Amino acid sequence: MEHTFRFFKQTLGLTRPRLRTPEQADRWVWLILAAYAQLRLARPLTEDLRRPWEKPLTPDRLTPGRVRRGYPRIRRTVGTPARAPKASHPGPGRPKGRTSTPAPRHPVGKKQRKTDMPRRGGAEQQP
């Protein structure tokens, strides 16, 4: 069962981003699900780029992973509505350095002192 959950977390991309709140995790899962829906819709636009050990599939049965392999060809065919990317260096008026604050730290608990721990014998010694 744990292997199944681990596989789903890796497939949905929950092991990569630094998600700090449950709301961020919810948004990330919906974003990934939308991307998978787009990959399913793009099945007719790509060919089956399979590995030597994989069985051939018809275009209507391609998995999202196989469609993702053919995505560079799809992008060349369809194009992109976006303009060329801007320069990567920050311009005037932009802050330098970190854009996010450090993750909040929470105490994990206190260690018990030896005087707080019960004695082994079960019977307590009287002074």
For residue range 27-38, list pLDDT tens digits in order: 888 888 888 888
Q: How far apart are CA 127 and CA 124, in angstroms?
A: 10
Classify the phi-psi angles of 109: left when phi > 0, otherwise alpha if psi is within -120 to 50, otherwise beta: left
**Has residue 79 got a pLDDT over 60?**
yes
pLDDT of residue 123: 55
Please report, for the chain, how many H helices and E strands are present, in that order.
4, 0
Q: What is the pTM of this model?
A: 0.52
pLDDT band at 1 (very low <50, low <70, confident <90, very high): low
> Which of residues 26 and 6 earns the better pLDDT score?
26
The per-residue pLDDT for 118 is 62
